[in-house]
């Protein structure tokens, strides 16, 4: 089994961090991207190194194409190449009906969740070797629509799913597998950013499996899709949403 040199955007907190720890447990070296929270990046690096893993962290706003190109340069230099990219960074904003959202917010949500995914995918397509792999972190919102809360976010994740389908076919001749995961309600900080810090506690019991998911449970699906165990899986979008 290859030691997959892996770049994870938004890799320092939540689902990205859990994915990085899972990669490290498999002996895969990781480059973690984050936007600005250096304390969280340091904590993630310390946790991975304590577990015996190899990790580096790089600040970059994935919504800026020049910063994405620099990030890939830095990751390749630090790891000696790249075999896998996890397109994970994403944001929500305050819950509200679409009618109340400002154009500035809509522009930000589309740029960070969809345009940035295209920038990362473009660099990955240019740089990954034959046999490499990409996993996109979408959301169950892509099929549920998130009415009254964040239909803007849901729409961008629908775009990410379509990107997964198209890129899987585009890169298949190079044996690059491209897949996605759609997490449901997962216990991370993202809900506080939407103004719903109690979302996990409140909605957990209403979900089919009776609870919210953990970042580690999503990470397990991501690293399985990356691994040789999923060698014939491409263009798949796996729900990790507790039956929702």
Catalytic residues: 153
- When asked if residue 40 is in the footprint of ligand NAP (CB under 6 A), the reply is yes
The region of 27-35, 73-81, 94-102, 144-152 touching ligand NAP under the rule CB under 6 A is 27-35
Question: What is the Cα–Cα distance from 184 to 114, expressed in whole angstroms?
Answer: 18
CB of 218 to ligand NAP, least distance (A): 7
Burial class (CB in 10 A: 0-12, 13-18, 19+), 215: buried
Structure tokens at 5: 């040199």
- When asked if residue 14 is in the footprint of ligand NAP (CB under 6 A), the reply is yes
CB of 7 to ligand NAP, least distance (A): 12
Q: Which of residues 190-219 bind ligand NAP (CB under 6 A)?
A: 190
CA distances from 104 to 107, 127, 233 (A): 5, 32, 38
The region of 11-19, 96-104, 127-135, 223-231 touching ligand NAP under the rule CB under 6 A is 11-19
- When asked if residue 137 is in the footprint of ligand NAP (CB under 6 A), the reply is yes
x/- binding map, residues 148-187, to ligand NAP, per CB under 6 A?
Answer: -----------------------------------x-xx-
- When asked if residue 221 is in the footprint of ligand NAP (CB under 6 A), the reply is no
Among 6, 19, 33, 223, binds ligand NAP (CB under 6 A): 33
Bridge partners of residue 182, in order along the sequence: 239
Among 19, 74, 120, 188, binds ligand NAP (CB under 6 A): 188
Where on the chain is the footprint of ligand NAP (CB under 6 A)?
9-10, 12-16, 33-37, 40, 61-63, 88-91, 112, 137, 139, 183, 185-186, 188-190
């Amino acid at each position: 089994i290859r030691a997959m040199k892996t770049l994870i955007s938004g890799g320092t907190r939540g689902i990205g961090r859990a994915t990085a720890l899972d990669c490290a447990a498999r002996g895969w070296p990781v480059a973690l991207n984050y936007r600005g929270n250096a304390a969280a990046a340091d904590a993630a690096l310390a946790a991975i190194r304590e577990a015996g893993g190899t990790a580096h962290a790089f600040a970059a706003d994935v919504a800026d194409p020049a910063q994405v190109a620099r990030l890939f340069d830095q990751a390749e230099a630090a790891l000696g190449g790249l075999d896998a990219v996890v397109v994970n960074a994403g944001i929500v904003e305050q819950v509200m009906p679409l009618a109340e959202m400002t154009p500035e917010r809509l522009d930000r949500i589309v740029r960070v969740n969809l345009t940035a995914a295209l920038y990362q995918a473009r660099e990955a397509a240019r740089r990954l070797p034959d046999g490499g792999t990409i996993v996109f972190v979408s959301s169950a919102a892509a099929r549920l629509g998130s009415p009254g809360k964040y239909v803007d976010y849901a729409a961008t994740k629908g775009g990410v799913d379509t990107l997964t389908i198209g890129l899987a076919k585009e890169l298949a001749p190079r044996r690059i597998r491209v897949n996605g995961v759609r997490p449901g309600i997962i216990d991370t900080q993202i809900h506080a950013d939407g103004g719903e810090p109690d979302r996990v506690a409140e909605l957990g019991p209403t979900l089919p499996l009776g609870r919210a998911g953990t970042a580690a449970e999503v990470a397990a699906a991501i690293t399985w899709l990356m691994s040789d165990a999923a060698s014939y899986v491409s263009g798949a979008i796996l729900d990790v949403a507790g039956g929702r």
